[in-house]
Every structure is written in structure tokens, then in C-alpha cells.
Structure 1
Amino acid sequence: MKRTLVAGFGNTFRRDDGVARVVINALRAQLGRPPLGPLDDGFDDLGHAIDTVVLHQMVPELAETVADYDQVLFVDAHVETIPASLHEERIAVAYRTPFVAHQFHPSTVLALAQQSYGHAPQAVLLSLLGHDFNFGEELSAETAALVSPARDRILELIAEE
């Protein structure tokens, strides 16, 4: 089995933007691991065949962590500009200039891992369609319904050789 990191991103105070944390905790439950609490990011629980972390946003410092894995699965929410409820995209190593300063793309994290640590893992971005990005901590019913299918797809991706 490939050593895998599942990294979720999103603002849990903006409703569906926080869906990645819910997906990560559903995955952790399936793996027999305790859920990450609201203040936990998962970095203190690394060292398994399948590791999970959750961050508010993607940061360049993640490159050091991802360089240690064979495969990284990024989980995030997306808006209606991508029509699919679950969107899956293979991520190539490439520097991408962010549209705004606080946006950082997974391909750039991979490029930094390759340049700084000599290894960039295979990577996939799995995003779930968000319907409500207003202030609040509850997921919309539509996005909540995507959590189990997303968890199942992550498990399928991990099982693929």
C-alpha cells in the first residue's frame, strides 16, 4: 500500500467551505481512528500508512510534509463553476501564481516539495460542491450528502496501485 496523506482544507466557520474536516473525520472513523477536534490539525498523529491533516488554507510549509508520502489526496470544497458534485483532478507538479494572496494551489505545494526535498508524491484533488458559504458551522444538506461518497472515493484511490 502506498503511504498516503489525505489533506483537507477549508474554513469551518463558512459552512460548506469546512466540508473537508467532516470528510477527514468520516475517513478517520472508517480507519478506526478518533475524530480530529475543532482545534486539532492531525499533525501530531502522523506515522500511519494513511495519515490525515486539516488546515484552514493551503500553505507552502505543507511541502515538507507531503514530500514524505507516496500519494497525497487533497480535499476541498468548490463552487458552482465546477458543475460536478464530486470533482476529481490529478495534480501535476507546477508553480501556479495565486489569483489572490491567500490562495495556494496543490500543484505549487508539490513543486516546492520537489524543489526543496527532492520528491513530489502523486496527487489528486477531490473537491465537493458547496452550496452555502455564509457564516456558520453546519453543512448544507446537499453538501453533507456528499461526505460518504467522498470518503468512499478516497478509500478507492488509496486502494489503487
Structure 2
Amino acid sequence: MNYNAMGYAPLEAIAIGYGNELRSDDGIGQRVAKALHLSNVKSLAVHQLTPELAEALAHADLAVFIDACLMSESSQVQVQSLSPESFKFISGHTADPRSLLALTQAIYGRCPPAWWIKVPGVNFELGYSLSSIAEMGVAIALKKIAQIIDENFSLRL
């Protein structure tokens, strides 16, 4: 592990973008994760949230989850803070990030502060390209992630 001049390990965040890239706008989360290039952020693009992600979360100082949502749910990019909440099961893409945080807490005795970014999409049909609404949402999500990282890490230094 690298340490800064004061002898402290630098703060690190994990960004987990998830969704099905073969279903057009459902791939928003992965697109954001792949486009995210911040030095103190480990970015993972995954098809779905799985229990194996708990180990990486346990070692992070901050977590950001990125997923698509239906335009009918919200026309804006949503950002909400998350707390661990135990649900009955973690089952593929239907898993909620809060369940994964609860699993992380149960197994490792800790989980990082976390945020959930939901980006609206309109086309969830088979296909690889994003709609123009989703493309705009990806750009907004990238800015919001950088803002979350800056605000949270500057408060903790």
C-alpha cells in the first residue's frame, strides 16, 4: 500500500457500474464505470451485483453504485446516499446495492459510506447503443461522481 507524506494511506473509492450492455440503455452503469478515470477511484463495470463484490467494498473508503432507471421513474439523474439494509436475498441484477452493503457489513464488519446514482433511460430493447437521453445522463453521472468524491474526501482529510 502506498502512503502519503503524513504516513496515512490515501483514501480510495470504488465505483460499481452495473447493467446489461446488450439491452441498450440498461448498460448505462457499465458505460459510466468504463468512462470514469479518477486516480483515487477503482472503477468496476459488471453485468450484475454479486456477493463477490463485498470484498472490494470492504476495502473501500467510499462506494458509488451506478445503474439505469426507467425514464418514468425519474427524468433526472438521481443521487441518493445508501445505508446497509438486509433484504432476503441477493439474486443477480435484482440485487439492491443496500443488500450488498449489508452483506459486506455482515462478513467484514464494515462497509463504506455509499451513494447510488440512477441514470434515466428510455430504450431497453436489444442493442448496444445508448439513447441520446442516456448519453446525456452518462455525462451528468460522471460529473456527479467526481463531485461526490471531492466533497467526501475533502471532508475526511
Where do 5+ consecutive residues of structure 2 fail to align?
1-9
Match of 1:7 in 2: 16
* Larger helix proportion of the pair: 2
TM value normalised by structure 1: 0.82
Supply the distance in 1 between the matched residues of 2:34 and 2:91 (Cα, whole angstroms): 29
Higher relative contact order (CA 8 A, sep 6+): 1
Supply the distance in 2 between the matched residues of 1:84 and 1:97 (Cα, whole angstroms): 30
Q: What letter matches 1:16 in structure 2?
A: D
Supply the distance in 2 between the matched residues of 1:2 and 1:122 (Cα, whole angstroms): 12
Supply the distance in 2 between the matched residues of 1:55 and 1:25 (Cα, whole angstroms): 10
State the 1:27 CA deviation.
1.6
Match of 1:140 among 125, 131, 151: 131
State the 1:101 CA deviation.
4.1
State the 1:97 CA deviation.
3.4
**Residues 2, 158 of structure 1: 8 Å contact kept:** no
Q: Does 1:56 align with 2:47?
A: yes
Match of 2:110 in 1: 119
Question: Runs of 4+ in structure 1 displaced over 3 angstroms?
Answer: none
Q: Does 1:131 align with 2:140?
A: no
**Residues 26, 148 of structure 1: 8 Å contact kept:** no
**Residues 17, 31 of structure 2: 8 Å contact kept:** no
Supply the distance in 1 between the matched residues of 2:75 and 2:88 (Cα, whole angstroms): 25
State the 1:118 CA deviation.
1.2
Q: Percent identity?
A: 30
State the 1:145 CA deviation.
1.4
Match of 1:157 in 2: 148
Match of 2:30 in 1: 21
Where do 5+ consecutive residues of structure 1 fail to align?
32-47
Query: Number of aligned pairs?
Result: 142
**Residues 68, 118 of structure 2: 8 Å contact kept:** yes
SS in 2 for 1:135: coil
State the 1:81 CA deviation.
4.2
- Structure 1 or 2, whichever has the larger Rg, is 2
SS in 2 for 1:94: coil
Supply the distance in 1 between the matched residues of 2:97 and 2:115 (Cα, whole angstroms): 9
State the 1:142 CA deviation.
1.2
State the 1:21 CA deviation.
2.0
Within 5 Å, give how 1:39-118 maps onto structure 2. Answer: 49-97=40-88, 101-102=91-92, 103-118=94-109
